[in-house]
Amino acid sequence: MIISKLFLDVHALKHYRMKDDGYSLHKLIYSLFPGDERDFLYYDNGMDDYGRTILIESHSSPLVPEVGSLESKRVAPEFYSHDRYGFQVLVNPVIKKKENSSLIPVRGDEAVRKWIIDRLESWGFSVDWDSLEIEEKSVLLLHKGENRLVYNRYLLRGSLFVLDRANFIQSCEMGIGRGKAFGFGMLQIRPL
């Protein structure tokens, strides 16, 4: 895996006509990985006085952007060998209805906890519930043609324990939950 940090100063933001709609960032990140296959995840750290920082995790190296700075480094395989990690992840919790395959948003701390519990086994880890913080960030609205897409944004922080190493690594590499094309699901971890 490769971890990259993309920094867009004010000049770069103007160059890319970056709006605060989520879609312009989506287009920029996708332009760094030409081809049909998405093998990357990203997380937008947001704006500060100097610009915008985006973290990217990928299997292949991103292209160097026309404007802005990009730093990349390869993650050593032993990074995934620890048993306990601190984590942060932005999720779009939804439940898929079986009868018509529609997606129903999950809202509220208790409902989000249940959503997590129902998926932990497939993710390969458990969560230290005393450490878990659930922060409702906002809603991400995207307009695609005449359609309006709505994503609930919850930032989860805490510590986790690895139960199934293969599933855990897959969750780190592929992300968790839905909405990965728009910056959701990237597990940011650090060994504890």
Q: Could you report the per-residue pLDDT of 106-132, keeping only the tens digit for each?
A: 988 999 999 999 999 999 999 999 999
Spatial distance between the Cα atoms of 160 and 143, rounded to a whole number of angstroms: 35
What's 17's domain CATH number?
3.30.70.1200
78-117: per-residue pLDDT in tens?
A: 999 999 999 999 999 999 888 887 888 898 899 999 999 9
Does the predicted TM-score (pTM) go above 0.75?
Answer: yes
- Helix then strand then coil, % of the chain, to nearest 5: 25, 40, 35
Cα 20–31–44 angle (5° rounding)? 40
Do 57 and 120 lie in one domain? The reply is no
Structural domain boundaries, residue 26? 2-74
Query: Where is the domain boundary, 19, 51, 74?
Result: 74
Which residue in 132, 120, 134 sits closest to 86, CA to CA? 132
Residues 156 and 67 in one domain: no
